[in-house]
Amino acid sequence: MRVYSFSRGGIHFTDPTVPPRDSSITAFLPGLSVIPLVQHIGSKANPVVSVGSRVSEGMLIGRGQGLGSANIHATVPGRVVRTVSWKMAEGLTNDALVIKLDGSFEKLGRHEEIFPWQSLPAFELQRIIAEYGIVEMEGSGRPVSDMFYSLRSAGTPVTLVVRCVFDDPWLAADYVLLRERLEAVAEGSRIAARAGRMDRIVLVFSRGEKDLGQQLLEAMTKAELPVSLALVGARYPQRNRRELELVLERFAREEGIELGTILALGPATLAAIHDAVKLKKTILDRYVAVGGSAIKKPQVMKVRIGTRIGEIFAECGGFIDKPRRIGSGSPLLGRTVVDLDEPVIKTSFAIFAILPGQIGGGARSKCIGCGECRVVCPVGLDPEALYKYMNGSDSRDVHVGRAAECHGCGCCEVVCPSRLPLSTSIIRSALKGN
């Protein structure tokens, strides 16, 4: 079976401090849950409960407001004891409701009632997905209902791409979720295809996961649409939209099929769609990869949304030594965490604590002009020249017109021996119009 890969740049990224991908463990339920009102790309959800209110598991506590915003639900039963606000590393403010655990669970440990969905029309499936606050859990947190809405004016065939590309070892949690909930991911894919009125499903797997791809293909036998399996390279950033579309164009030509508009969703999002539609269940928990060189026992954990990061690290044995950096996401491009009381949210696929020697943990120094950033850029940019120009240390602007082509994969930052924030600076400057 042919393997499709983008032709230029990229890196083979490995990290021995990532947790094993063999299984997950369930984290302890938090006594206090911190439920942020922003777990998506849009504006803050409007709280519909207040301090003193009693809430049940899965109850609506924040209503989404417009495009980009999603509903927020309580993940444990109890009482709202206070509200909190904090500034994140980017300077943005987030607000949250703090729930003290108390009362009985309606989902945990109970028999799951199955709701038939096969006869539901697309608009009803979309309504359920929106009501249950399903967002793109492997990405920016864009509401899935917004993604479906954007397909209305596609004007071409629409293909659901089930993105199982593990080019970053810190995607370990999604890999474990796929293995443990493969049937849910398969049915979630069928539901998503119906809700989005799609014409075809393509399962995209990294080359080393061919067997797992075949298992998912076999589980898709009930799909109403044509289903194909495509194998792609594991070189980072293969899962990025640009690199994914490049290889899928070649795959479609050779297979003689028309993909048209592509909507790519990952296993965690598809499992959440399954739970919302078939089990009437909100996003209560998240598979999270917990690791890094500062963590005593890295592991993949199934964590309740709202659990504080400090509590999760404690369950992994705590720190070996004082971390240089703590963050959420992959150390490649992850967000720095400034307070261990910050909670796990819908998009938290990994949290890490790293010592100075690990990627993402070193101190910055001056550029030495090695040119490694140019070698790995999949777009063919000159990150060094762009960075120097945008920081005022170089007056030449021969490359600045191409800054908007940078999609922030971070390859240049990974290989930079001076640990300069190359792609981060380029993206920010491009957004400002510099």
Least confident among 59-63, 110-114, 237-241: 110-114
Q: Are strands 299-304 and 285-291 parallel, antiparallel or unpaired?
A: antiparallel
Domain boundary among 235, 264, 279: 279
Q: What percent of the chain has pLDDT over 90?
A: 72
- Check residue 110 and give its pLDDT: 65
Mean per-residue pLDDT over the chain, rounded? 91
Check pLDDT > 90 for residue 377.
yes
| Mean pLDDT calculated for residue range 300-324 | 96
Q: What is the pTM of this model?
A: 0.93
Range(s) of the domain holding residue 423:
372-432
Residue 372: φ, ψ to 5°:
-60, -35
- Check residue 42 and give its pLDDT: 92
Identify the band that residue 113 occupies on the pLDDT scale cut at 50, 70 and 90.
confident
How do residues 197-247 score in pLDDT, each as one tens digit?
999 999 999 999 999 999 999 999 888 899 999 999 999 999 999 899 999
Note whether residue 355 is domain-resident.
Answer: no
Q: Looking at the structure, do residues 117 and 243 belong to the same domain, yes or no?
A: yes
Q: What percent of the chain has pLDDT over 70?
A: 93
What is the distance between the alpha carbons of residues 407 and 187, in angstroms, rounded to a whole number? 32
Note whether residue 57 is domain-resident.
Answer: no
Over its C-alpha atoms, the chain yields an Rg (Å, rounded) of 22
Look up residue 92 and give its two tokens: 């943005």
What is the distance between the alpha carbons of residues 431 and 382, in angstroms, rounded to a whole number? 18
| Mean pLDDT calculated for residue range 249-260 | 95
Q: Determine which helix (DSSP H) or strand (DSSP E) holds 205, and give its type and residue range.
A: strand 200-206
With a CB cutoff of 8 Å and minimum separation 6, the contacts of 106 are 56, 57, 58, 77
Place of tokens 């309606």: 106
Residue 217: φ, ψ to 5°:
-60, -40
* Phi-psi group of 188: left, alpha or beta (phi > 0 → left; psi -120 to 50 → alpha; rest → beta): alpha
Check pLDDT > 60 for residue 307.
yes
Note whether residue 120 is domain-resident.
Answer: yes
- Check residue 410 and give its pLDDT: 87
Note whether residue 72 is domain-resident.
Answer: no
| Mean pLDDT calculated for residue range 284-290 | 97
Domain boundary among 229, 262, 279: 279
With a CB cutoff of 8 Å and minimum separation 6, the contacts of 351 are 288, 289, 290, 309, 312, 313, 326, 327, 328, 337, 344
3-state secondary structure 135-198: ECCCCCCCEHHHHHHHHHHCCCCEEEEEEECCCCHHHHHHHHHHHHCHHHHHHHHHHHHHHCCC
Check pLDDT > 90 for residue 261.
yes
Sheet holding 325-328, edge to edge: 24-26, 299-304, 285-291, 350-354, 325-328, 335-336
Selection from 8-17, 307-316, 410-419 with the highest mean pLDDT: 307-316
| Mean pLDDT calculated for residue range 11-19 | 93
- Check residue 433 and give its pLDDT: 54
Identify the band that residue 424 occupies on the pLDDT scale cut at 50, 70 and 90.
confident
CB atoms < 10 A from the CB of 81, how many?
A: 14
- Check residue 402 and give its pLDDT: 78
| Mean pLDDT calculated for residue range 117-126 | 95
What is the distance between the alpha carbons of residues 118 and 28, in angstroms, rounded to a whole number? 35
Check pLDDT > 90 for residue 126.
yes
Domain boundary among 279, 294, 311: 279
Return the sign of the alpha-carbon dihedral for residues 337, 350, 111, 70: positive
Give whole-number Cα distances, 256 to 145, 232, 249, in Å: 30, 18, 10
- Check residue 353 and give its pLDDT: 96
Is residue 309 within 8 Å of 350, Cβ to Cβ? no
Q: Looking at the structure, do residues 271 and 403 belong to the same domain, yes or no?
A: no
Q: Looking at the structure, do residues 250 and 397 belong to the same domain, yes or no?
A: no
Number of domains present in the structure of the chain: 2
- Check residue 348 and give its pLDDT: 96
- Check residue 222 and give its pLDDT: 83
- Check residue 61 and give its pLDDT: 98
Q: Looking at the structure, do residues 271 and 393 belong to the same domain, yes or no?
A: no
Note whether residue 310 is domain-resident.
Answer: no
Note whether residue 87 is domain-resident.
Answer: no
Q: Looking at the structure, do residues 128 and 234 belong to the same domain, yes or no?
A: yes
Is residue 133 within 8 Å of 283, Cβ to Cβ? yes
- Check residue 360 and give its pLDDT: 54
How do residues 336-372 score in pLDDT, each as one tens digit?
888 899 999 999 999 999 998 665 555 678 899 999 9
- Check residue 90 and give its pLDDT: 61
Identify the band that residue 91 occupies on the pLDDT scale cut at 50, 70 and 90.
low
Note whether residue 285 is domain-resident.
Answer: no
- Check residue 223 and give its pLDDT: 82
What is the distance between the alpha carbons of residues 431 and 144, in angstroms, rounded to a whole number? 25
Identify the band that residue 129 occupies on the pLDDT scale cut at 50, 70 and 90.
very high
Nearest CA to 263 among 109, 126, 115, 404? 126
Q: Give the CATH number for residue 246.
A: 3.40.50.11540
- Check residue 432 and give its pLDDT: 57
- Check residue 109 and give its pLDDT: 62
Top pLDDT among 419 and 271 is at 271
Counts of helices then strands in the chain (DSSP H, E)? 12, 18
Q: Is 205 exposed, middle or buried (0-12, 13-18, 19+ CB in 10 A)?
A: buried
Note whether residue 259 is domain-resident.
Answer: yes
Q: Looking at the structure, do residues 274 and 388 belong to the same domain, yes or no?
A: no
What is the distance between the alpha carbons of residues 412 and 120, in angstroms, rounded to a whole number? 47
